[in-house]
């Protein structure tokens, strides 16, 4: 095996280890949320049972109304119309929020897409991971990731924007330098490979402390 092949294998192994660690954090955070919800619901049920035992139906109705209002604010789950996209977006949003990163997402995706679910998850996952990594270099009150996904006629449009500590990131060739250091950036390579294979379009822009990636993929 050549030195180049060994180095490439080491980079891939390192990249895969990072993915495993990231997914572990996502799952762990979601389980923490579920445990918190179960604890809260037990308390809510006990309170409603107490009102019912006292036959205080007016108090019970008011409590149910308060719970309904609370759920309206808590239910921030993204529902794009595509199950796989929903799964990865909500997983990444949950991870970002656990790191005190505000996420504003607007995504509408049809159920049937030309792009495979694996490729779509690779693109969304890597874009989100890069945005989270860059956001962590900022104080919590300045951390913000904007996600927009929708169909533009026959093309799937994907846009990710996040604020960065650098006013303008350094660019080498067609790609910006990875903020993760030497040996990283394989996620960017994978995104570019998918876009190229699908004859798509990708644009990266770094201006005024914000980094934006835009992708167009033909779906018909």
Specify which of 9-13, 70-74, 77-81, 146-150 reaches the highest per-range mean pLDDT: 146-150
Parallel, antiparallel, or unpaired: how do β-strands 175-176 and 144-152 relate? unpaired
pLDDT at 41: 78
Q: At what angle do helices 186-197 and 117-135 cross, to 10 degrees?
A: 140
Per-residue pLDDT reduced to its tens digit, 47-62: 889 999 999 999 999 9
Whether the CB-CB separation of 200 and 217 falls below 8 Å is answered with yes
Tokens 């018909």, residue? Answer: 220
Rounded mean pLDDT, 146-160: 93
What six digits make up the tokens of 148? 């927009």
Q: Is the pLDDT of residue 4 over 60?
A: no
Q: How far apart are CA 144 and CA 212, in angstroms?
A: 12
Per-residue pLDDT reduced to its tens digit, 175-220: 555 555 444 467 788 899 999 999 999 999 988 889 999 999 998 7
pLDDT at 181: 46
Q: Is the pLDDT of residue 115 over 70?
A: yes
49, containing H or E segment = helix 3-53
Structural domains of the chain ordered from first start = 3-74 (no CATH), 83-218 (3.30.565.10)
pLDDT at 87: 79
pLDDT at 69: 75
- State what percent of residues in the chain have pLDDT above 70: 70
Q: Could you tell me which of 118, 115, 124, 123 has the C-alpha nearest to residue 91? A: 124
162, exposed or middle or buried, with CB in 10 Å at 0-12, 13-18, 19+?
A: buried
Lowest mean pLDDT among 21-35, 66-80, 112-126: 21-35
Specify which of 70-84, 143-157, 178-192 reaches the highest per-range mean pLDDT: 143-157
Phi and psi at residue 114, to the nearest 5°: -70, -40
Confidence tier at 157 by pLDDT (50, 70, 90): very high
Rounded mean pLDDT, 98-105: 92
What string of H, E and C letters represents the secondary structure of 106-127?
EECCCCCCCCCHHHHHHHHHHH
Q: Could you tell me which of 129, 127, 89, 95 has the C-alpha nearest to residue 109? A: 89
Parallel, antiparallel, or unpaired: how do β-strands 102-107 and 144-152 relate? parallel
The residues with which 139 forms a beta bridge, in sequence order, are none
């Amino acid at each position: 095996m050549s030195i180049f092949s060994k180095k490439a294998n080491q980079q891939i192994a390192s990249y895969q280890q990072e993915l495993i660690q990231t997914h572990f954090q996502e799952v762990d955070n979601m389980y923490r949320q579920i445990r918190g919800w179960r604890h809260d619901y037990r308390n809510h049920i006990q309170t409603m049972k107490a009102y019912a035992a006292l036959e205080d139906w007016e108090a019970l109705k008011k409590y149910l109304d308060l719970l309904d209002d609370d759920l309206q604010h808590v239910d921030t789950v993204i529902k794009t119309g595509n199950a796989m996209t929903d799964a990865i977006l909500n997983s990444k949003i949950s991870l970002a929020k656990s790191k005190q990163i505000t996420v504003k997402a607007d995504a509408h995706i049809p159920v049937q897409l030309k792009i495979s679910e694996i490729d779509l998850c690779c693109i969304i996952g890597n874009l989100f991971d890069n945005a989270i990594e860059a956001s962590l270099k900022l104080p919590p009150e300045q951390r913000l990731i904007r996600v927009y996904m929708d169909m533009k006629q026959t093309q799937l449009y994907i846009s990710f924007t996040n604020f960065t500590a650098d006013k303008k990131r350094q660019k080498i060739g067609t790609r910006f330098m990875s903020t993760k250091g030497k040996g990283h950036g394989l996620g960017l390579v994978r995104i570019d490979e998918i876009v190229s294979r699908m004859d798509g379009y990708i644009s990266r822009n770094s201006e005024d402390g914000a980094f934006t990636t835009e992708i167009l993929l033909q779906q018909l």
